Amino acid sequence: MRVARVALPTTVDEAVVALRDAPGAQLLAGGTDFCVEVNFGLRRPPAVVALRRVRELRRHAVTPETVVIGAGTTYADMGDPGLSSALPALAAAARTVGSPQVRNAGTLGGNVATASPAGDTLPLLAALDARVVLRGPSGERTASLGEVVTGVKTTSIGPDEVVVEVVVDRRPGPQQFVKVGTRNAMVIAIASAAVVVDVEAHEVRVALGSVAPVPVRATAAEVHIADAIDWRAAGGPRASEGALARFGELVAGAASPITDHRSTAEYRRLAVGVIARRALERCVARAA
């Protein structure tokens, strides 16, 4: 009989030490993915470092320039008034995750580290060029989301590293998240899209979920629509019907979806163009 090590640290530094001291130990955050895998015999941790007690991971800070979100921030926490007014599309994405029970447990750090193509917070983070701060025995490093999330459920996070926080630059203007699934609750995305409109830089940022191994930016669509929008129109930015339609086509072209038990590649490609356009239309007016 082996006695398994269980560490219940209260600081990030303690968690890093605990990871180092128990080789093979697995980090446990909200448990909403981890425990399902254990329950179904797909994961058998020899040791666990549980992060639920690390209060510093649950902090967030909103400044005029950036938003820093602790990795332990739950989906429910993302609806916090300060955080949701700075990042309304993150709050919207979080509200589509699972159920209240799941949103009370699951965390931002867990969503990043699990790196599911359907991770609901990832499109917005990709759209905002989020930086991920990781801490290990040799200190902290910062990496882009794209450097961290490298494939389907694979990351560049070292076995001795803890996701500490995610940092995004604030963008002045509207942002939206739209997701397609079989019902409103308790659903894993068939396709999702985050749109961020920067009314000062005259930029549109679009990132897609569940239509590629990792969240993808629809850069051709971004360039096209930024050019097509009348940024100085009275009553706010507006775009023509034709420009919006082209935007949807370019978004669909950026997707490389697969057919699986949730949907088909064809439907995902179609849907992601429709929802990205819909998200954009909630941000900018349609020119008459």
Partner 1 sequence: MPPEEPLTGSAGPADTPAYERVEPYELVVNGTRMTVEDAWLGESLLFVLRERLGLPGAKNACEQGECGSCSVLLDDVVVCACLVLGVDAVGSRVETVEGLTASGEVADIQAALVEAGGVQCGFCTPGFVVALHDLLRRAPSADDMTVREALSGNLCRCTGYGRILEAVRAVQWQRGAGVSTGEGPGDGA
Decide if 146 contacts 11 (C-beta within 8 A).
Answer: no
**Smallest gap from residue 264 Cβ to partner 1 (A):** 23
- Nearest Cα neighbor of 73 from 89, 85, 57, 88 is 57
**Smallest gap from residue 5 Cβ to partner 1 (A):** 9
**Smallest gap from residue 32 Cβ to partner 1 (A):** 5
For residue 238, what are the β-bridge partners? Answer: 230, 285
Residue with Cβ nearer partner 1 (10 or 264): 10
Largest CA distance in the chain: 74
Decide if 238 contacts 284 (C-beta within 8 A).
Answer: yes
Residue with Cβ nearer partner 1 (90 or 204): 90
- Dihedral (CA of 172, 118, 144, 34) sign: positive
Residue with Cβ nearer partner 1 (79 or 146): 79
**Smallest gap from residue 280 Cβ to partner 1 (A):** 26
**Smallest gap from residue 11 Cβ to partner 1 (A):** 15
Single-letter code of the amino acid located at 245: A
Determine the Cα–Cα distance for residues 82 and 60; give it in Å rounded to an integer: 9
**Smallest gap from residue 29 Cβ to partner 1 (A):** 10
Residue with Cβ nearer partner 1 (63 or 184): 184
Residue with Cβ nearer partner 1 (23 or 100): 100
10 Å Cβ neighbour count for 46?
Answer: 12
Residue with Cβ nearer partner 1 (6 or 143): 6
**Smallest gap from residue 34 Cβ to partner 1 (A):** 8
Determine the Cα–Cα distance for residues 76 and 70; give it in Å rounded to an integer: 13
Under the rule (CB under 8 A), what is the footprint of partner 1? 1-4, 6, 8, 28, 30-32, 34-36, 38-41, 43-48, 50, 52-53, 76, 98-102, 104-105, 184-186
Report which secondary-structure segment, H or E, holds 268. Answer: helix 265-281
Buried b (16+ CB within 10 A) or exposed e, 227-262: ebbebeeeebbbbeeebbebbbebbbebbebeeeeb
Residue with Cβ nearer partner 1 (50 or 206): 50
